Amino acid sequence: MSMINIQDVTFSYTGKRLILKDINLTVEQGEWVAILGHNGSGKSTLAKLLVGLLEPKSGTIAIDGVLLTPDTLYEERKKIGIVFQNPDNQFVGVSVRDDIAFGMENLNVPREEMLEKIQFYAEKVGMSDLLEKEPSTLSGGQKQRVAIAGILAMQTKIMIFDEATSMLDPTSRNELMAYISTLHDEGITIIMITHDMEEALYADRLVVLKEGAIFEDDAKATLLRKPERFREARLDLPMALKIQSGLSKTDEKEKRVRDFLWEFVSAK
Ligand SMILES: Nc1ncnc2c1ncn2[C@@H]1O[C@H](COP(=O)(O)OP(=O)(O)O)[C@@H](O)[C@H]1O
Ligand SMILES: [Mg+2]
């Protein structure tokens, strides 16, 4: 059974302009999918539909085999953790501790276990010294860390990260990606929305949105062989592929570097 099944979904905020057009997307359990697209292509809107914050104009969305409806929404939400693009919208508590706890409270995690998890995940994201801080006083990157810790602590079957690492420094981002890789190994389904190609390289599968429609949906290694498709969707190429395109195909040394760079992007 698929973890996510989106069928013929369209969406409009105003009733006029279609923001998402005929979206069909199936994600199996344990996949790591990157959803890519230029600004305004509809990525965040799609994420909000997946967690039932918005309702499709037409079409259906099923999570773990259950159709999202007003009746099932409450239970289905427990299966999906999401870090929103703007973490400010995610904060409700008076302290970092409260905010990491928030999602777990909805899952009725016992108090003792919750305290341990707050500590564990706060350390994972480097926020354990700031647990008593008021969230509004945090920097953008710190807010992102807190929102991420809250989702990790919920240990949901599906985790959606919407541009969730945009304000992190490269080291913290790499550490987080390494941790998400371990969750992926355990069978958690990861949806990573990003316009950062380096981040997308961690995924197995790339879905490219363009003007509200699915423009490409393929295995990473397959799609990376069609760099023109990224340009057509106004996306940057990963650094390694940019370097590769400047190297000779005949010179033996340069060919070896090309092969190495290819290994690097396709294997990550
Ligand atoms: N609350 C809203 N009301 C009306 N239009 C919106 C709203 N949120 C987003 N949009 C529009 O929907 C389109 C897709 O936005 P969004 O899903 O945020 O794209 P992305 O996340 O890919 O940048 C954009 O044209 C945006 O202006
Ligand atoms: Mg967005």
Q: Which of 46, 2, 6 is nearest to 163 (CA)?
A: 46
Minimum-distance ligand to the CA of 23?
A: 1
Q: Is 173 among the domain residues? A: no
Residue 130: both structure tokens together: 């700031």
Q: Are residues 194 and 261 in the same domain?
A: no
Q: Is 10 helix (H, G, I), strand (E, B) or coil?
A: strand
What is the whole-number distance in angstroms between the Cα of residue 45 and the centre of ligand 1? Answer: 6
Q: Are residues 56 and 20 in the same domain?
A: yes
Q: For position 200, what pLDDT does the model report?
A: 93
Residue 134: both structure tokens together: 């008021």
Q: Are residues 201 and 245 in the same domain?
A: no
Ligand 1 environment, Cβ below 6 A: 13, 19, 37, 39-45
Q: For position 69, what pLDDT does the model report?
A: 95
Q: Are residues 2 and 74 in the same domain?
A: yes
Q: Which atom of ligand 1 is nearest to the CA of 212?
A: 14
Q: What are phi and psi of 89, to 5 degrees?
A: -70, -10
Q: Which atom of ligand 1 is nearest to the CA of 162?
A: 21
Residue-wise pLDDT tens digits, 181-229: 999 999 999 999 998 888 999 999 999 999 999 999 999 999 999 999 9
Q: Is 115 among the domain residues? A: no
Q: pLDDT band for position 242 (50/70/90)? A: confident
Instruction: Name beta bridge partners: 191.
Output: 33, 160
Q: Is 200 among the domain residues? A: yes
The Cα 55–Cα 50 span in angstroms is 9
Q: Is 141 among the domain residues? A: no
Average pLDDT over residues 145-162: 95
Minimum-distance ligand to the CA of 163?
A: 2
Q: What does the chain come to in residues?
A: 268
Q: Are residues 221 and 259 in the same domain?
A: no
Tell me which of 89 and 124 has the higher pLDDT.
124
Q: For position 63, what pLDDT does the model report?
A: 97
Q: For position 246, what pLDDT does the model report?
A: 82
Q: For position 205, what pLDDT does the model report?
A: 97
The string over 63-79, giving b where at least 16 C-beta atoms fall within 10 Å of a residue's C-beta and e elsewhere, is bbeeebeeeeeeebbeb
The backbone region for 64, taken as left when phi is positive above 0, alpha when psi lies in -120 to 50, beta otherwise, is left
Number of domains in the chain: 2
Q: For position 252, what pLDDT does the model report?
A: 87
Q: pLDDT band for position 268 (50/70/90)? A: low
Residue 111: both structure tokens together: 């108090």
Question: Ligand 2 being an ion, which residues bring their Cβ within 5 A of it?
Answer: 43-44, 85
Q: Is 207 helix (H, G, I), strand (E, B) or coil?
A: strand
**Are the CB atoms for 64 and 3 separated by under 8 Å?**
yes
Identify residue 49 by its one-letter amino acid code: L
Q: Are residues 196 and 259 in the same domain?
A: no
Q: Is 158 among the domain residues? A: no
Tell me, what CATH number does 47's domain have? 3.40.50.300
Q: pLDDT band for position 143 (50/70/90)? A: very high
Minimum-distance ligand to the CA of 162?
A: 2
Which domain covers residue 13, as residue numbers?
A: 1-79+186-226
**Are the CB atoms for 208 and 229 separated by under 8 Å?**
yes
pLDDT exceeding 90 applies to what percent of the chain? 75
Q: Is 258 among the domain residues? A: yes
Q: Are residues 193 and 259 in the same domain?
A: no
Residue-wise pLDDT tens digits, 41-88: 999 999 999 999 999 999 999 999 999 999 999 999 999 999 999 877
Q: Is 11 among the domain residues? A: yes
Kindly report the average pLDDT of the chain as a whole number. Answer: 93
Q: For position 196, what pLDDT does the model report?
A: 86
User: Measuring from atom 16 of ligand 1, which residue has the nearest CA?
Assistant: 42
Q: Are residues 219 and 259 in the same domain?
A: no
Q: Are residues 5 and 72 in the same domain?
A: yes
Q: Is 13 among the domain residues? A: yes
Q: Are residues 193 and 261 in the same domain?
A: no
For the chain, the farthest-separated pair of C-alpha atoms sits apart, in whole angstroms, at 64
**Are the CB atoms for 216 and 231 separated by under 8 Å?**
no
Does residue 238 surpass a pLDDT of 80?
yes
Average pLDDT over residues 119-146: 94
Where do we find the tokens 């997307």?
A: 25
